[in-house]
Amino acid sequence: MPEKPHLLCVDDEPLVLASLRRSLGPLLAEMDFTGCGSGAEAIRLLETNSVDVLVTDLRMPPPNGLDVLLCASKASPSPLRFIYSAYHPSALPFEMVCLPHGYYLKPLSPLLLAQAIRSAFDARGSISPGPVRDAIVGLSSLPVLPETLRSLEADVRNQALSADRLAAMSHKDPAFAANLLHLAFSMSQDPGRRFKGVLESARSLDIPELHLTLKRGLPAALDESSGIAREWRSLHAHACQIAGRLIADCPAESTDEYISTGLLHDVGRQCLLHMKPDARVPEQANPSAHAAISAALLRLWGAAPSVVEAVAGQHQSPVSGNPLASALYAANHENEKEHTHEFST
């Protein structure tokens, strides 16, 4: 009989742990539950045991929840990470350098927390266990282009951020678009919330709080001297090209969804580039594997089902009635005819 997935909950307040154990109810029929009363205990467990899902408090005597999250993001298998805390991210005294798959404020209905865990678990299950899945689940954010980071820093400094400015930055930097989607989804208090596009994601964020959040955890910039910088930029250019093709004749009310799907459709390739070269060999041998990887990452980071479906099927002529999927397939196909470079699809 296969082993049950392992759920680890961490909170220095015994009553919260007891209530989590009691209230996660039906989920616990499918998962083994461990409760840890301190960050140190949780880190020891993560280093010696396989954990599939982590739910942690943030403010605890050191090591705090962020230390636990960082340790989890490097573990293998990489657990899905959830924060369950009384503190809003903008009120945290430390940097938010590791974005979770969901950040929920206490008290949250246990049913909602269970729903969040289950849907992330299903998204993780769409990729078979191994280094690629660990890379997707362990990923907290993608490096952004240095010019994006400069604009972002200037806007944070000048208190000039707005949803439109964030969306405009993401239109030039697909990795930033992915980060924005992830940030909006993980800050949303509704586990059922899904986003059709980056503008919608940006609009869901509370801008004054976002200032504080970003100040405490700006994404990292792409290292221009690294071996992947050239490929990374080509990939960005390709994604922007596909986005441009998709908005050329999309329904006016769906511009955000179409442009975002173009920007994000190859995010799995960025994820693969991010990995150690020897760990991604099987996926490179099968060039279409990145469609499934992109779709799994987008599901985990809160993209709407229409977007995920289109991205998953980007290399096959669509059979479903999803016009976005047909448009993405056609855009990739047209692009391939015109450009025969390595990032043609």
Binding flag, residue 270, Fe ion (CB under 5 A): no
Interface size with Fe ion, residues (CB under 5 A): 2
Interaction of residue 173 with Fe ion, rule CB under 5 A: no
Give the residue with the Cβ less far from Fe ion, 158 or 340. 340
User: Of the two residues 257 and 266, which places its CB atom closer to Fe ion in the complex?
Assistant: 266
256 binds Fe ion (CB under 5 A): no
Stretches 10-18, 21-29, 211-219, 260-268: which one binds Fe ion (CB under 5 A)? 260-268
Sheet with 53-56, side-by-side order of all strands: 32-36, 6-10, 53-56, 80-85, 102-105
Distance CA 85, CA 106 (A): 6
> How much is the CA Rg of the chain, to the nearest whole Å?
20
Q: Which residue in 266, 295, 307, 325 binds Fe ion (CB under 5 A)? A: 266
Residue 6 makes CB contacts below 8 A (sequence gap 6+) with 31, 32, 34, 49, 50, 51, 52, 53
Q: Which stretch binds Fe ion (CB under 5 A): 26-34, 45-53, 208-216, 259-267?
A: 259-267
Single out the segment in contact with Fe ion by CB under 5 A; choices: 79-87, 195-203, 264-272, 320-328.
Answer: 264-272
Rounded Cα gap, residues 291 and 310, in angstroms: 9
- To Fe ion, the closest distance from the beta carbon of 311 in angstroms equals 8
CB of 116 or CB of 267, closer to Fe ion: 267
CB closer to Fe ion, 153 vs 336 = 336
Minimum CB distance to Fe ion smaller for 183 or for 312: 312
Q: What is the token pair recorded at 145?
A: 């282009």
- State how far the Cα of 115 lies from the Cα of 103, in Å rounded to an integer: 13
Whether 310 contacts 264, CB under 8 Å: no
Residue 52 makes contact with Fe ion by CB under 5 A: no
Q: Rounded to the nearest 10 degrees, what angle do helices 39-48 and 65-74 cross at? A: 10
Q: What residue ranges bind Fe ion (CB under 5 A)?
A: 266, 345
